[in-house]
Structure 1
Amino acid sequence: MLALATFIGFTALVAVIAYWKTKDDHMDSSDAYFLGGRSLTAWVIAGSLMLTNLSTEHLVGLNADAFNHTIAVMAWETTAALAMVVTALYFLPRYLKSGLTTIPEFLANRFDSQTRIIASLLFLFSYVVAILPVVLLFGATGLESLFDVSETFGISQSSAIWMMVWGVGSLGSLYAIFGGLKAVAISDTVNGVGFLIAGLLVPVLALLMVGDGDLLGGLSEVYTEERPKFDITGDEPGSFLPFGVLFTGMIVNQIFFWCTNQSIVQRALGAKNLAEGQKGVLIAACFKLLGPFIIVLPGVIAYHMFKDELGPEDYLMAYPMLVKTVLPDALVGFFAAVMVGAVLSTFNSVLNSSATLFSQGIYRQLINPSADGRAVVRSGRYCSIILALAAMAFAPLIDTSGSLYNYLQKINATFFGPMLAVIMLGMTTRYVSAFAAKAGMILGPVIFYLLVFAFGDNVQVFMQGLLGTTEEIHFLHFLALVFVLTTALMLALSKLAPATTRYEDVYTHAVDITPWRHARTMGMIISIVTILFYVLLAQ
């Protein structure tokens, strides 16, 4: 009863705060609905960035990978902090100066409206196929493994999964459809506070248990006895995340995701000014450096505690088993509410970004160019409803065998490399043409699909023979290869037929773009701390 009361209490608290903060807002314009009226402050941006990214697939999936391999998987978090520094110092000033609502809007300004439409469709396709249903399913699967929902309600596991998919999806949809970005960001922030508290409680309580009440003693025991697990370079045989990918595809992945991905960048685009936006992004980067303590260290602690009970094939049970072992009954409801909040935060954030892309990039460009603010907002709401229903219907049909986190990243990588090549060349060159950009966005994903999915086994054999190795070539290396190939293709096409118009950044005065005076200093500190992780933990 206490667990249910705390679950309902925290979930209701989030809803009440979100409603209270947005009840007087008028959602009758694009800026108001899609960018929170360009009024978001640093802490709201930071909280929303963190919760848009983190969910149960991280808690269960990455901790499971740490259980089976090493802490090298923390690279997904630590290198993200470096990419966020790049966002704050380079990308965000350019975005806010241009008064952008979406990333494809930049491509329209730089190239042409057709490029914008293609980019909007690709973003939407990746969200609909690779994120919305995946987040719901992995969230439901994680909640089932953590809290035995099926046993609690006396139903089958498949029924419990369906119930949670539709429950979380419906609740998340309400924030995105009726509240717009501001309601989403505020709910993310409150859930983010809960996520940090609950996420850090698990390793702290576990280490206290290992050390018989001595936190540092428990950490020392785990580190001493499981020393190989703490090799951050990933130099284990058949490494799950080889150190080399940090210098190839990981760079492409993180720069795209944190610097140019609509569902992430949209939070910073809603900043009241550049200084608040930069502070928000850099605060979130600091939170990212806490990530390994929440989504990697518990996996190693679980290995120390349960390695004689759980085999490699049971790795997905590592984190749930740790939670059930160390979490007091009084905190079960709060922890469940935080986990549900993490799932719906990611879902409603991506849903809001999908609506933004459709309304601004498809509806306004192709269907109703003369639409006023109310019509555009209405189209976004209809889009959200359709996508939410589709995601909830198809989520339980996805195959979840293998690494949950790797599965999501591999699908996303199909679009990341080519899209980043187009955006980066659009920003850094003058002669790359719209034709080249469109060719890159269409052919790049096709090339990645052929290399990794359609002919993956044959390509692996060929590359292993070429490189003289028996190790599987990590998909992140192929991501970097496709990025380079797409870039080379666009440069070659543009040499044959260069751009005919010259693009110049225009300051729209949508917000004040005076930078935060401590931005560079904070960026340097975050970068140094990230590098120290690798210096201190390399073996």
Structure 2
Amino acid sequence: YTIIGGMKSVLYTSVLQTPILLLGSLIILVLGLKALGGWDEMMRICSIEKVNEYGDTMTNLIRDNRDPQYPWLGALIGSAVIGFWYWCTDQFIVQRVLSGKDEKEARRGTIFGAYLKLLPVFLFLIPGMIAFAIHQNAIAAGGEGFLPMLANGNVNSDAAFPTLVAKLLPAGVKGLIVCGILAALMSSLASLFNSSAALFTIDFYQRYRPDTDPKKLVRIGQIATVVIVILGILWIPVMRSVGDVLYLYLQDVQSVLAPGIAAAFLIGILWKRASAQGGMWALLSGLIIGLTRLGSKVYYSNAGVEPGVDGSLFQYVFYDCNWLFFCGWMLVFCLAVGVIVSLFTKAPEPEKIQGLVFGTSTPEQIAATRASWNKWDVVHTMIILGITVAFYIYFW
């Protein structure tokens, strides 16, 4: 339906699929807590499980800075970089904002999206903790355990949600949840395919062939979508070679993809002196470093090298270094490249960046932006930030 219907079909199906996903996940949450014995029982079991040698448990979001996976400073820096890239620059997200009729619609749609973004904590994170707690209870009772195991003896974390669906839900409701999972998958893939096809068609094909008939451009976009689907399937073996846990793979890839793009956007938005060449080299340096890091992960993982084992400086930088800290240092490097190249190249013409860079908006543009929001936008923003802070305090 993405190939045939384009962006409009993606948006309409997302609107229809989202309630199914939210309802299904809510049922899982309620039945999971009921099967376990309540929230307190979940917190008790998860707070016993140590995740590192520094006293942190599964219920601690803020971990010791020496934690191998999620040091608190690294999480603060790396999450900010990845978050800025994904939510503020990725075509996957931005295309939805740009579909708004005006600034007011776009802003309020974003605020509504922020409310929805609070829900996955309770609909996906908490069910994962429930699955772990039920698994621990089953083992303590002398059973086989609730979750399936991997070949290396570790629990299959990726199977937590499907296992809850398979073992806790009655027929009918189980089908609804499966529809919800498929809806989430379809929505994400549809948006990805549409964004990628649009970028290729408009930013590459049409630029080199500006006189192309619009109907032909649509066909080119459809062909590009098919090609992207095939490339995605071919990439699966690379995913499997990076790690056992899908979430960790996704974060690894995002942590090397985000800094170069974030750097290019940041200098372009915040600095009037930034040149097109500076932005391009910030992107290219990020691409080169990111591919080197990803290739090193594949190579060293398949070679059986353990992180932290004595090795070369290259191994330390591109394999041993924590992915969150690497993301932060990579952003600094890409920013430096963008700034240096900009200083040695011609500055953009003022009229070309009018209204696109902070400090260049006309009085009319500033007035139009100010008129597009009121006190309720501020109130809802503060509510969202307050809930986020409360969540961090509770799981500190």
Q: Same fold (TM over 0.5)?
A: yes
- Displacement after TM superposition at 1:464 (Å): 12
Aligned pairs for 1:139-158 (under 5 A) are none
5+ residue gaps in structure 1? 1-174, 212-217, 466-470
Letter in 2 for 1:274: E
| Helix, strand or coil at the partner of 2:164 | helix
Q: Which residue of 1 aligns with 2:108?
A: 279
Q: Which residue of 2 aligns with 1:359?
A: 201
Say if 2:93 is the partner of 1:264.
Answer: yes
Q: Which residue of 1 aligns with 2:355?
A: 505
Which one of the candidate residues 8, 15, 30 is aligned to 1:189? 15
Partners of 2:231 and 2:259 lie apart in 1 by: 27
Q: Which residue of 2 aligns with 1:404?
A: 246
Say if 2:335 is the partner of 1:492.
Answer: no
Which one of the candidate residues 525, 529, 533 is aligned to 2:383? 525
Aligned pairs for 1:74-473 (under 5 A) are 175-211=1-37, 218-227=38-47, 228-235=57-64, 238-307=67-136, 308=139, 309=145, 310=147, 313-316=154-157, 317-366=159-208, 368-392=209-233, 395=236, 398-399=239-240, 401-451=243-293, 453-454=295-296, 473=321
| Helix, strand or coil at the partner of 1:430 | coil
Q: Which residue of 1 aligns with 2:331?
A: 483
Partners of 1:386 and 1:225 lie apart in 2 by: 47
For the 8 Å contact 2:194–2:225, the answer to whether it is kept is yes
Q: Against the structure 1 CA distance between its residues 479 and 347, is the aligned structure 2 distance closer, same or farther, given a 3 Å change threshold?
A: same
Partners of 2:23 and 2:385 lie apart in 1 by: 25
Letter in 2 for 1:501: E
Partners of 2:108 and 2:348 lie apart in 1 by: 38
Does 274-283 or 235-244 show the bigger shift? 235-244
For the 8 Å contact 1:464–1:472, the answer to whether it is kept is no
Q: TM-score, normalised by structure 2?
A: 0.80
Q: Which residue of 1 aligns with 2:51?
A: none
Partners of 2:346 and 2:61 lie apart in 1 by: 45
Partners of 2:29 and 2:321 lie apart in 1 by: 33
Cα deviation, 1:325-374, whole Å, max 9, x if unaligned, reads 211112121111221111111111100001110111011101x2123433
Q: Against the structure 1 CA distance between its residues 399 and 224, is the aligned structure 2 distance closer, same or farther, given a 3 Å change threshold?
A: closer
Letter in 2 for 1:480: G
Q: Which residue of 1 aligns with 2:372?
A: 515
- Displacement after TM superposition at 1:463 (Å): 11
For the 8 Å contact 2:97–2:110, the answer to whether it is kept is yes
Q: Against the structure 1 CA distance between its residues 186 and 534, is the aligned structure 2 distance closer, same or farther, given a 3 Å change threshold?
A: same
For the 8 Å contact 1:177–1:381, the answer to whether it is kept is yes
Q: Against the structure 1 CA distance between its residues 472 and 386, is the aligned structure 2 distance closer, same or farther, given a 3 Å change threshold?
A: closer
Letter in 2 for 1:341: A
**RMSD between aligned alpha carbons?**
3.1
Partners of 1:464 and 1:282 lie apart in 2 by: 47
Partners of 1:190 and 1:410 lie apart in 2 by: 31
| Helix, strand or coil at the partner of 1:234 | coil
| Helix, strand or coil at the partner of 2:119 | helix
Partners of 2:260 and 2:32 lie apart in 1 by: 43
For the 8 Å contact 1:425–1:432, the answer to whether it is kept is yes
Highest RCO, 1 vs 2 (Cα 8 Å, sep ≥ 6): 1
Partners of 2:65 and 2:58 lie apart in 1 by: 9
Q: Against the structure 1 CA distance between its residues 505 and 537, is the aligned structure 2 distance closer, same or farther, given a 3 Å change threshold?
A: same
Q: TM-score, normalised by structure 1?
A: 0.60
- Structure ranking higher in helix proportion: 1
Aligned pairs for 1:61-80 (under 5 A) are none
- Displacement after TM superposition at 1:197 (Å): 0.6
Partners of 1:327 and 1:348 lie apart in 2 by: 28
5+ residue gaps in structure 2? 48-56, 140-144, 314-318
Cα deviation, 1:214-252, whole Å, max 9, x if unaligned, reads xxxx11222234324322213497453222223211110
Identical columns (%):
25
| Helix, strand or coil at the partner of 1:527 | helix
For the 8 Å contact 1:421–1:486, the answer to whether it is kept is yes
Q: Which residue of 2 aligns with 1:146?
A: none
Q: Against the structure 1 CA distance between its residues 394 and 196, is the aligned structure 2 distance closer, same or farther, given a 3 Å change threshold?
A: same
| Helix, strand or coil at the partner of 1:493 | helix
Q: Against the structure 1 CA distance between its residues 411 and 229, is the aligned structure 2 distance closer, same or farther, given a 3 Å change threshold?
A: closer
Letter in 2 for 1:323: V
Cα deviation, 1:448-496, whole Å, max 9, x if unaligned, reads 343564387799668999xxxxx96421211111110111122122223
For the 8 Å contact 2:103–2:372, the answer to whether it is kept is yes
Partners of 1:225 and 1:479 lie apart in 2 by: 33
Partners of 1:334 and 1:318 lie apart in 2 by: 17
For the 8 Å contact 2:275–2:346, the answer to whether it is kept is yes
